[in-house]
């Protein structure tokens, strides 16, 4: 039995598509089963509730061999420790109590670097990995750079102003990966459980790109000019707070981006095993552009260009 958390999320829903139909029994933990496609609901066991809840994980992990673990971002959390460690604590107890043998968790790059201890959300993710591994379960942490899919949140400004913004140096190259590749890496580990002990599994994408490189690719794929604009870190943090994020989470994002701009994601050498296939150009063509074409408003930047 494989248990999957956050099955309606970006990674979770793509993972479910791969695992369901593999022949392994699957159990999904979700707050709202009606958000699952009907065809999926028919093929799986569903435990309703939050995977941060003690009673829910106790029920869900009974008889489970393997677990996919993803902490949902909680922008209202009063501390990163409560968001990552507090949320994962009931699951860690249940992993031990129920005898779950293998866990694959969604985490971040940076372990072993000097920046890892002051990298906001990443520091909290790495502490969560330690907490899960300390239960004695066999554990693989998917060590991810920033997701390409984060750019979907900037579709309005890409379309309206021909612009995307981050608190990063526009010329500094970083790895980035598609959530589809993270789901594929998770599925591979969950379906072939011939591994044991603890390790990180980096998911590096096929190339390092700067934000200016990305803007050039966006321009080519979308057919109108797209620029990158670096936001000062303080303005970025204040903007998150103004949009309702808790001070602890806004600070955590700012610290994380500061660490990424100082090389947090750049320590892991790219190898054939950890360079995942989906390029940023392919992601733009297959995910971003269809998402934009599916929006009702004609992009203003596109109208100006034509
Ligand atoms: N974005 C990045 O660049 C990046 C990089 C490295 C690591 N990460 C890590 O990736 C994870 C986020 O992955 P994602 O983008 O795939 O997540 P996501 O799409 O935001 O999905 C999270 C899911 O969790 C569910 N959820 C929300 N609040 C919940 C709660 N309180 N209890 C139970 N379920 C809840 C939501 O489903 P329902 O509303 O249907 O319940 C949602 O579908 C985080 O742990 C983050 O630290 C992100």
Atom 17 (ligand 1) nearest CA:
9
Average pLDDT over residues 109-122: 97
Residue 303 alpha carbon to ligand 1 centre in Å = 34
251 pocket-lining for ligand 1 (C-beta < 6 Å): no
Nearest atom in ligand 1 to the alpha carbon of residue 74 is 28
pLDDT recorded at residue 170? 98
pLDDT recorded at residue 226? 98
Is the pLDDT confidence value at 181 over 80? yes
pLDDT recorded at residue 243? 95
Indicate the range of 148-157, 199-208, 250-259, 293-302 predicted with least confidence: 293-302
Residue 120 alpha carbon to ligand 1 centre in Å = 16
pLDDT tens digits, 224-281: 999 999 999 999 999 999 999 999 999 999 999 999 999 999 999 999 999 999 999 9
Return phi, psi of residue 194, to 5°: -85, 15
Q: Can you tell me which residue has the tokens 């913004």?
A: 165
pLDDT recorded at residue 306? 39
State the Cα–Cα distance between residues 306 and 301, nearest whole angstrom. Answer: 9
Residue 89 alpha carbon to ligand 1 centre in Å = 17
Assign domain 2-149+176-202 to its CATH superfamily.
NAD(P)-binding Rossmann-like Domain (3.40.50.720)
Is the pLDDT confidence value at 298 over 90? no
State the Cα–Cα distance between residues 174 and 167, nearest whole angstrom. Answer: 13
Take residue 152 and report the two structure tokens written for it.
């979907």
51 pocket-lining for ligand 1 (C-beta < 6 Å): yes
Pocket test for ligand 1, best of 9, 111, 252 (most atoms within 8 A of CB): 9
Is the pLDDT confidence value at 305 over 50? no
150 pocket-lining for ligand 1 (C-beta < 6 Å): yes
Per the rule left: phi > 0, alpha: psi between -120 and 50, beta: everything else, 205 is left
Query: Model confidence at 301, in pLDDT bands (50, 70, 90)?
Result: low
pLDDT tens digits, 8-62: 999 999 999 999 989 899 999 999 999 999 999 999 999 999 999 999 999 999 9
pLDDT tens digits, 194-230: 999 999 999 999 999 999 999 999 999 999 999 999 9
State the Cα–Cα distance between residues 131 and 148, nearest whole angstrom. Answer: 28
136 near 107, Cβ under 8 Å? no
Local structure of 141: helix, strand or coil: strand
For the chain, domain boundaries? 2-149+176-202
225 pocket-lining for ligand 1 (C-beta < 6 Å): no
pLDDT recorded at residue 296? 43
Average pLDDT over residues 179-208: 98
State the Cα–Cα distance between residues 93 and 98, nearest whole angstrom. Answer: 9
Atom 32 (ligand 1) nearest CA:
50
288 near 151, Cβ under 8 Å? yes
């Amino acid at each position: 039995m494989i248990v999957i958390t956050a099955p309606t999320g970006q990674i979770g829903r793509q993972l479910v598509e791969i695992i369901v139909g593999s022949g392994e029994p699957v159990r999904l933990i979700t707050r709202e089963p009606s958000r699952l496609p009907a065809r999926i609901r028919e093929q799986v066991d569903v435990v309703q509730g939050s995977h941060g809840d003690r009673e829910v994980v106790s029920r869900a992990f009974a008889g489970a061999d393997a677990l996919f673990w993803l902490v949902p971002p909680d922008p209202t959390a009063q501390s990163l420790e409560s968001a990552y460690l507090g949320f994962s604590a009931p699951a860690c107890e249940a992993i031990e109590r129920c005898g779950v043998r293998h866990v694959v968790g969604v985490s971040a790059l940076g372990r072993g670097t000097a920046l890892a201890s002051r990298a906001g959300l990443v520091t909290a993710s790495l502490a969560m990995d330690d907490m899960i591994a300390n239960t004695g379960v066999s554990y693989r942490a998917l060590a991810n750079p920033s997701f390409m899919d984060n750019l979907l949140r900037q579709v309005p400004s890409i379309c309206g102003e021909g612009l995307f913004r981050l608190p990063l140096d526009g010329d500094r190259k970083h790895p980035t990966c598609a959530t589809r590749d993270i789901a594929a890496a998770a599925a591979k580990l969950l379906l072939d459980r011939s591994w044991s002990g603890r390790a990180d599994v980096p998911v590096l994408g096929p190339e390092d790109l700067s934000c200016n490189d990305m803007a050039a690719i966006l321009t080519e794929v979308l057919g109108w000019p797209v620029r990158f604009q670096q936001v000062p870190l303080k303005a970025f943090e204040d903007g998150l707070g103004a949009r309702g994020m808790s001070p602890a989470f806004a600070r955590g994002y700012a610290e994380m981006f500061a660490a990424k701009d100082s090389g947090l994601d750049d320590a892991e050498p790219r190898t054939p095993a950890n360079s995942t296939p989906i390029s940023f150009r392919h992601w733009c063509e297959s995910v971003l552009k269809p998402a934009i074409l599916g929006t009702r408003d004609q992009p203003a930047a596109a109208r100006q260009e034509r």
